[in-house]
Structure 1
């Protein structure tokens, strides 16, 4: 039979030390003799083994533990959590779609940082495709409830409710990275069931559409009719277009110290020849000399700048 002794001892609460000790095993095999002799020999061998085995009092001396080499310090799991590390820097990260669970997390972090210090800014980093309107409005109300300024920064994509939250930051403290994209549009949704229930859902969607347009009009300074026309379809913008539209205040350029000093002289990148030319007003194109979307998808853009009339007019006038 093999016996082993494993003991764990903590020298202090801050530096746990773990020692393993396995004394040499003792064989207890006995020859086949009388029962009384076997019993006597077994007792004597057990006593001898117990006498030679180190005890807790004799082996674990505190003086010897002080000289033991302590292992390197390992941080706790909560110290390695990126969310906690960002919160220490007063940074809240919205990196997923906006739903009820995400909204609860962001709202709780905003309220916590505002209660901790109402003088320092809270930075809200956004990389979100959007999501629930009601959840996004909950985050919006929490941002306005905070006495500390909430600075918003777009990395990657801020679409739909993500763009709405980006524009809802404190004035003068709304930023975009140079390669980020911003998209605004009207609320989307579906309705099903009875006719009366569908009517209720549609009226609710129209309420949210009017509500969001009013808020965006107040933020950007543009009339509600223009906001309604610009959000009729998916309206994508780069960082400089979002700045011109009034959704952000500055673009953080490459090689700059970021949030500390965003660049004021950053030049926008050149626009693509075709995709930056359409200006949607209702359902018609305002500019001429533009090919149709259908023809671009089929054959690509081949027209020159000196063409007269639109591709739609040429297709309509061509004989069938």
Structure 2
């Protein structure tokens, strides 16, 4: 019994051997297999190519930025802190250790997840001691209005006094969190930047949906404006002027606006009001002209 291949590639058994002559329409099995393999090698697998232009550039950018994005998404490993000594020694993570010291560190964009952690920490510290101070360090670009208002309401509702310290950048509604601390206990580091603004949003749909979104944005703005007036003593007109556009402030300006009560300088009382010699030279336009002219007159090629 011999085996041959049909046109579809299925094996066929039985029958007389096929002739390999010129008039024969079939080939031996080994020859068909070789031709099929050669044909498959000639036909490369089709790969979906990205369109040229902007999308191609965007895909290449994603490929270049993939390692950086993966690094950004990698979790930050918090160090363990040793507590006690000898047989009583134990290790706790950094956040747990700070919480035991009644310190809450609020960092990053405030969404529902972060707001839940902050609110839970404040409620737990109140349950431990209703009189001891809670210190809240804030370094945030802002967040969702509802999440921010939830944290502010909790800060106002609990009994312990709250000391707020602004560091890094406290933009948008993060400045409201700083101002929500207990009066007389609101501080800022000397190089912190603060900013006040108003809520933003967008909508699509029919006129009724857009009107509902505008009404909700206005309601949120009214809540935030009333909180700013309550915490800072600013008038409604002052709050409106400060939030019509992004208003950036130094700690000194934030103190004048009533967002904070004092600064934490941490410079040991040294005077940094006069700039160093190099800064004074750069401020002298004549020095810059002389410097560039000297470089050009050397005849060197850079």
In the alignment, which of 69, 75, 86 is matched to residue 98 of structure 2?
Answer: 86
User: Are the counterparts in 1 of residues 173 and 197 from structure 2 also a CA contact under 8 Å?
Assistant: no
* 1:233 equivalent in structure 2: 245
In 2, Cα distance between equivalents of 1:269 and 1:239: 15
How much has 1:267 moved relative to structure 2?
Answer: 8.5
Counterpart of 2:21?
A: none
The Cα offsets for residues 138-188 of structure 1, whole Å up to 9 and x where unpaired, read as: 001110111000110011011111101000100000000000010001111
Local SS of the residue matching 2:244: coil
- Report how far residue 75 of structure 1 moved: 6.9
Distance 2:111 2:237 in 1: 29
Q: Is the 8 A contact 1:98 1:135 kept in 2?
A: yes
What residue is the counterpart of 2:125 in the other structure?
113
Residues 217/203 of structure 1: CA separation in 2 closer, same or farther (3 Å cut): same
Question: SS at 1:163's partner residue?
Answer: helix
Change in Cα spacing, 1:198 to 1:189, as seen in structure 2 (3 Å) is: same
| SS of corresponding position for 1:135 | helix
Deviations 1:300-320 (A, max 9, x none): xx9xxxxxxxxxxxxxxxxxx
How far did 1:254 drift? 1.9
**Which piece of structure 1 moves more, 217-226 or 84-93?**
217-226
Report the CA distance shift for 1:237/1:149 in structure 2 as closer, same or farther (over 3 A): same
For 2:295, the equivalent position in structure 1 comes to: none
Judged with a 3 Å threshold, the aligned counterparts in structure 2 of structure 1 residues 159 and 268 are, in CA distance, closer, same or farther, namely farther
| Structure 1 spans left out of the alignment, 5+ residues | 1-71, 257-264, 271-301, 303-320
1:169 aligns with 2:181: yes
Q: Is 1:197 aligned to residue 192 of structure 2?
A: no
Could you say if the C-alpha distance between residues 83 and 195 of structure 1 is closer, same or farther in structure 2, counting changes exceeding 3 Å?
same
Residue 222 of structure 1: how far off its partner (Å): 1.6
How far apart are 1:241 and its partner, in Å? Answer: 0.8
Q: Which residue matches 1:151? A: 163
Q: Counterparts of 1:151 and 1:160 in 2: how far apart (Å)? A: 20
Q: Distance in 1 between matches of 2:157 and 2:100?
A: 21
Deviation at 1:80, TM superposition (A): 3.7
Deviations 1:269-300 (A, max 9, x none): 69xxxxxxxxxxxxxxxxxxxxxxxxxxxxxx
* 1:99 correspondence with 2:111: yes
Q: Verify the 8 A CA contact 2:138 2:170 in the aligned structure 1.
A: yes
Tell me the equivalent position of 1:160: 172
Task: Give the aligned partner of residue 13 of structure 1.
Answer: none
Residues 240, 268 of structure 1: 8 Å contact kept: no
Aligned residues: 191
* Alignment gaps of 5+ in structure 2: 1-85, 275-284, 286-302
Q: Please state if 1:208 is matched with 2:208.
A: no
Q: Structure 2 CA distance, aligned partners of 1:267 and 1:165?
A: 31
SS at match of 2:120: helix
Bigger helix fraction = 2
For residues 266 and 233 of structure 1, what CA distance do their matches in structure 2 show?
36
Q: Report the CA distance between 1:84 and its aligned residue.
A: 0.2
Aligned counterparts of 2:246 and 2:201: Cα–Cα separation in 1? 14
Distance apart, 1:208 and its partner CA? 0.8
CA distance in structure 2 between the aligned counterparts of 1:194 and 1:74, rounded to whole angstroms = 66
CA–CA distance in structure 2, aligned partners of residues 251 and 82 of structure 1: 26
